[in-house]
């Protein structure tokens, strides 16, 4: 217990630190609120709260993918959880001798047994993390921003290490002064006590006083430091997790062109409030860039740097924003470069990997929208695709009259003739106009006819689903195509939509509802697997050799369809299915998403070359795909690498159609 002067000093220090912390949290809350209003995601509050508690307490978000580092981080976090009570006891004990938050029963003893043990693991964790950060220097930390630019981690690790050491020394000194009965449940503190046994009573009392004050002051310094570092994620991260979207990864919001004249984000306060929350929640851990195909192929994009740069930007503009004034600088060029935002394939890997549920893709698309529709600054190789979408509703710019030519002599029915069917087959632009896509369409038509499925296509009435335009930021062009498709489909009766293209499937299923088109949409691999399982398709093993399967980003991560494509392939392969090292939710993108199918890839290594190598490493003779874009990218990569004699790529529909008996 402190004397009166000590108590006054302690109270002043606590008030100053907590006041500063509260002010900085309030300031950042106000900055978040400067963003555009969005739906406040508070539906299903208990489900959301349970998710946060499980994710934070278990620390599985840190442990997955990086088990050793994650466990060490968990040691540090659990140390904070246990030490919260110890710190409360420290402070309250300055005013009330012998105070204990849990009382003095068995539970209190067990808790402080945990504190004692966790302190050691926390020390181990801080030493490990310091060695990793400052000696090993992994790419996730050092690139693309050199570690030397920020002392934040050194300060935090030093404070955490100091908190543990001062606590153990203080407890060890107390044991020497008061006897072992003081800490009979504290084996580590008891082990420290003999190291201090040779000191005089006066020296021990001085040491304890110094360690007590050092511990408290380090806690307060950490409290002051948190808002000015990446460790603000300790505050913002759990809130961000609670407010996460329950929609599929990367689902985009509709722009109401009648109510706004500003499209996308030209200035930092034009982001949705949730995006600004993301900036403050970012841990800077680099997990996003570890899985980002653009970063891994030496492009300019790092999702981590996007978050970090925008966090710095909004703090730089905080004076203007908090006064209700416009930001002094635009986002692009000053803080984010064009090469960064246009390198994104919208694969969703960054969002899948993020431990605090940041939503990188909507942020990047907002910048693309502004660049596209407000400033007319975008990759010029997109112009032919946009022209085709505007004039003929397809990026290949071929006349609508040619949309069903692939189906000649295949007995494919039209909706205009039938008026209703169980399945509306939305063929998609690639399936109608790209030669490789046409092969997939022909194979799927053969399957549907063989199984006696009641289906029909729109034919010349079908337009582009609009995915390339929306993901490239041309929202106006997307909406034009989407609204026309919804109007067309409303004329007919059908139970489900089936499509061979995961991009079309995602946008029809998850984003057409914004235009009144609420449909049950399935992928052709799901229908094929169902038909085989029901015995409506008779297949036999074929001569494709060993098969490996590439998970399309929009089929897998976006819509969690992993099993059905594999079931269909396993039913047709006598040599079995072998997985790539990066598969299912960790699959590596083919490089075609986000409008990249219609853009040149000039920087770094081609993404499809990396993915082709992944397939080659399996020893498989055939790559099974479930997306016409993926097929094109694999075909090109195999040819460019001269691997035609070692590897071939076929869509699931082609493999199954060739296996019919």
Taking 3-state DSSP, the helix, strand and coil percentages for the chain, each rounded to the nearest 5, stand at: 60, 5, 35
Q: Can you tell me the distance from the alpha carbon of 88 to that of 579, in angstroms, rounded to the nearest whole number?
A: 52
Give the predicted TM-score (pTM) of the model.
Answer: 0.88
Q: Hey, which residues does 549 pair with through a beta bridge?
A: 624
pLDDT at 142: 66
What b/e string do you get for 455-481 counting C-beta neighbours within 10 Å, with b at 16 or more? Answer: bbbbbbbbbbbbbbbbbbbbbebbbbb
pLDDT at 147: 43
**How is residue 59 written in tokens?**
């620390």
Q: Can you tell me the distance from the alpha carbon of 521 to that of 513, in angstroms, rounded to the nearest whole number?
A: 12
- Taking a C-beta distance cutoff of 8 angstroms, is the pair 624, 549 a contact? yes
Question: Domains in the chain, please, with CATH?
Answer: 66-228 (no CATH), 268-378 (1.10.1060), 385-657 (no CATH)
CA 221-224-228 angle, to 5 degrees, is: 125
Q: Hey, which residues does 648 pair with through a beta bridge?
A: 622
Question: DSSP readout, 566-587?
Answer: HHHHHHHBSS-EE--SS-GGGP
| Predicted confidence (pLDDT) per residue in 82-94, tens digit | 888 888 888 888 8
- Taking a C-beta distance cutoff of 8 angstroms, is the pair 550, 624 a contact? yes
| Predicted confidence (pLDDT) per residue in 242-301, tens digit | 998 888 888 999 998 888 888 999 999 999 999 999 999 998 888 999 999 999 999 999
Q: List the end-to-end C-alpha distance of the chain, in Å, as a whole number.
A: 87
Kindly report the number of other CB atoms within 10 A of residue 14's CB atom: 16
Helix (H) or strand (E) holding 660: none
Kindly report the number of other CB atoms within 10 A of residue 444's CB atom: 27
- Taking a C-beta distance cutoff of 8 angstroms, is the pair 599, 382 a contact? yes
**How is residue 135 written in tokens?**
């000696």
Query: Which residue has tokens 């169902």?
Result: 530
Q: Can you tell me the distance from the alpha carbon of 188 to that of 185, in angstroms, rounded to the nearest whole number?
A: 9
- Which of 41, 24, 34 minimizes the C-alpha distance to 273? 34
| Predicted confidence (pLDDT) per residue in 472-485, tens digit | 999 999 999 999 99
In the 8-state DSSP scheme, what is residue 366?
H
**How is residue 154 written in tokens?**
């050194």
Task: Identify the segments of the chain with pLDDT beneath 70.
Answer: 1, 142-143, 145-150, 180-183, 543-544
């Amino acid at each position: 217990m402190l004397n009166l002067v000590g108590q006054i000093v302690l109270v002043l220090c606590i008030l100053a630190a907590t006041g500063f912390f509260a002010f900085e949290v309030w300031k950042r809350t106000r900055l978040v609120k400067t963003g555009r209003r969005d739906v406040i995601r508070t539906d299903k509050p208990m489900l959301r709260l349970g998710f946060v508690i499980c994710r934070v307490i278990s620390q599985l978000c840190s442990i997955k993918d990086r088990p050793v580092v994650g466990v060490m981080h968990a040691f540090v976090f659990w140390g904070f959880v246990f030490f919260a009570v110890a710190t409360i006891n420290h402070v309250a004990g300055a005013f009330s001798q012998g105070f204990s938050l849990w009382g003095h029963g068995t539970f209190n003893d067990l808790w402080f047994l945990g504190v004692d043990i966790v302190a050691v693991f926390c020390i181990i964790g801080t030493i490990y993390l310091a060695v990793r950060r400052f000696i090993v220097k992994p790419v996730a930390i050092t690139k693309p921003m050199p570690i030397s630019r920020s002392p934040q981690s050194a300060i935090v690790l030093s404070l955490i290490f100091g908190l543990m050491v001062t606590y153990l020394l203080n407890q060890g000194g107390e044991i020497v002064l008061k006897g072992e009965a003081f800490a009979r449940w504290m084996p580590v503190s008891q082990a420290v006590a003999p190291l201090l046994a040779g000191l005089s009573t006066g020296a021990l009392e001085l040491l304890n006083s110094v360690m007590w004050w050092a511990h408290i002051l380090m806690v307060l310094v950490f409290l002051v430091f948190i808002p000015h570092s990446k460790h603000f994620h300790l505050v913002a991260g759990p809130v961000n997790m609670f407010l996460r979207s329950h929609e599929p990864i990367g689902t985009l919001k509709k722009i109401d062109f009648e109510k706004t004249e500003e499209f996308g984000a030209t200035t930092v306060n034009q982001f949705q409030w949730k995006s600004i929350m993301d900036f403050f929640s970012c841990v800077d851990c680099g997990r996003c860039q570890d899985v980002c195909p653009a970063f891994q192929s030496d492009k300019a994009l790092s999702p981590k740097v996007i978050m970090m740069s925008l966090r710095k930007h909004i703090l730089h503009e905080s004076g203007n924003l908090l006064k209700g004034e416009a930001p002094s600088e635009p986002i692009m060029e000053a803080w984010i470069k064009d090469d960064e935002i246009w390198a994104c394939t919208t694969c969703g890997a960054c969002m899948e990997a993020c431990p605090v549920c940041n939503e990188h893709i909507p942020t990047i698309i907002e910048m693309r929208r502004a660049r596209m529709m407000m400033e007319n600054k975008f990759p010029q190789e997109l112009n032919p695709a946009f022209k085709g979408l505007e004039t003929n509703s397809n990026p290949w710019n071929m006349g609508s009259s040619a949309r069903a030519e692939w189906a000649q002599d295949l007995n494919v029915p039209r909706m205009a003739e039938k008026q209703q069917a169980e399945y509306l087959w939305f063929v998609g632009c690639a399936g109608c106009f790209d030669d490789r896509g046409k092969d997939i369409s022909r194979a799927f038509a053969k399957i549907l006819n063989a199984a006696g499925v009641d289906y029909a296509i729109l034919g010349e009435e079908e337009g582009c689903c609009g995915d390339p335009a929306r993901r490239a930021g041309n929202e106006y062009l997307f909406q034009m195509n989407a609204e026309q498709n919804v109007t067309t489909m409303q004329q007919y009766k059908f139970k489900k939509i089936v499509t061979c293209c995961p991009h079309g499937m995602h946008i029809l299923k998850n984003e057409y509802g914004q235009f009144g088109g609420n449909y049950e949409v399935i992928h052709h691999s799901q229908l094929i697997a169902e038909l085989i399982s029901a015995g409506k398709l008779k297949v036999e093993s074929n001569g494709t050799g060993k098969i490996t399967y590439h998970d399309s980003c929009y089929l897998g991560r976006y819509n969690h369809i992993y099993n059905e494509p594999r079931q269909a392939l396993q039913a047709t392969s006598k040599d079995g299915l072998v997985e790539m090292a990066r598969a299912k939710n960790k699959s590596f993108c083919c490089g075609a998403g986000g409008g990249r199918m219609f853009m040149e890839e000039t920087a770094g290594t081609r993404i499809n070359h990396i993915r082709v190598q992944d397939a080659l490493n399996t020893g498989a003779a055939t790559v099974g795909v479930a997306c016409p874009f993926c097929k094109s990218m694999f075909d090109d990569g195999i040819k460019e690498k001269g691997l035609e004699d070692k590897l071939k790529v076929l869509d699931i529909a082609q493999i199954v159609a060739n296996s019919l008996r």
